[in-house]
A and B are shown apart, each in its own frame.
Chain A
Amino acid sequence: MSGAWAWVILVALTLGSWLLFEQGIDAKFAATAVVIDAGVKVNIVISRFMELEWTPAPFRMLTALWALGAVAVIIGGYWF
């Protein structure tokens, strides 16, 4: 994925989360979806912009776990 395509996807995901927020759909679904959307964006920034896709797997896994943990914690605080 080129940097330009990564940017296009990141902007599309951001606008997608905005639509989820703005539309009158179920609030819990929308809130959960926008945080998962953010986690996906974080992983794109880490792998493509920070170029960690080229680094050894353990380091990539560490940063992916950070994103996963952040998403889980934020959603957990909302649901419970």
Chain B
Amino acid sequence: MRDASAAAALHRLPGDSGVWTFILADMAAFAMFFLVFALGRAASPELFEASRARLDPALGLANTLILLTSSYFMVRAVEAARRCDRQAVVRSLGLTMLVGSGFAVTKLAEYAAKADAGISILTNEFFTYYFAFTGIHFLHFLIGMAALAVMLAKARREDLDERFRTWIEATGCYWHMVDLLWIMLFPMLYLMRAS
């Protein structure tokens, strides 16, 4: 169950200002990526459509569902931390990582399939953006997984005090940012068919 009263009582940003500075800077950078991609597509619609058709949208769908579900378990972990329920925090963080790791499996399988098909970052403008944007996003995913692993270790041995709650809120917000960036990348790269 959601601990809405606790969150409502805060009336502040979850986590700390440092993580939000990072999140907003990242969101601004990805907004620029979207703009660059949009300009490229407007200039070369046939090339972008032919290249998009070579992607596997089912893998993009799977990755979206994986990140949404992983994000949900992250929400549960933060709520459990506010209740000082250590067992639930550990379980929810473990599920966040377990489900989230599926993203790495499908993404690496997708990259391998592209390599087998002779497609690389140098193939054309679309694939330059595809590999650059998804690669940078994947780097964010790996940083998030590392942060989750640190929080899981802390949840097992440290007090679930105010400091811990700030840390887990900050980690959660970062993890949700990884999710929301992918939510925009998925239709932009995979689903905008021209016919």
> Which A residues are closer than 8 A to B by beta carbons?
2-4, 6-7, 10-11, 14, 17-18, 20-21, 27, 30-31, 34-35, 37-39, 41-42, 45-46, 48-52, 54-56, 59, 62-63, 66, 69-70, 73-74, 76-78, 80
Q: Which residues of B contact A10 (CB under 8 A)?
A: 68
Q: What is the bound-complex CA distance between A58 and B186, given in angstroms?
A: 28
Give B77 Cβ to nearest chain A Cβ, in Å: 11
Q: What's the nearest-Cβ distance from chain A to residue B134, in Å?
A: 15
A27 contact set on B, CB distance < 8 A: 193-195
B72 lies within 8 A of chain A by Cβ: yes
**Interface residues on chain B, number (Cβ under 8 Å):** 49
**Residue among A10, A17, A80 with the most chain B CB within 10 A?**
A10
Q: Is the interface of A mostly helix, strand, loop or mixed?
A: helix
- A32 CB to nearest chain B CB (Å): 9
C-alpha gap A36/B27 in the complex (Å)? 18
For residue A59, which residues in chain B have a CB less than 8 angstroms away from its CB? 13
Q: What are the residues of chain A within 8 A of B38 when measuring CB–CB?
A: 73-74, 76-78
Contact B193 A11 (CB under 8 A): no
State the Cβ distance, A55 to closest chain B Cβ, in Å: 6
Beta-carbon contact of A70 and B31 below 8 Å: yes
Is the Cβ of B187 less than 8 Å from the Cβ of A70? no
B35 touches A3 (CB 8 A): no
Residues of B within 8 A of A18 (CB): 57, 61, 191
- A59 to B12 alpha-carbon distance, docked (Å): 10
Q: How far is the CB of B100 from chain A (nearest CB, A)?
A: 14
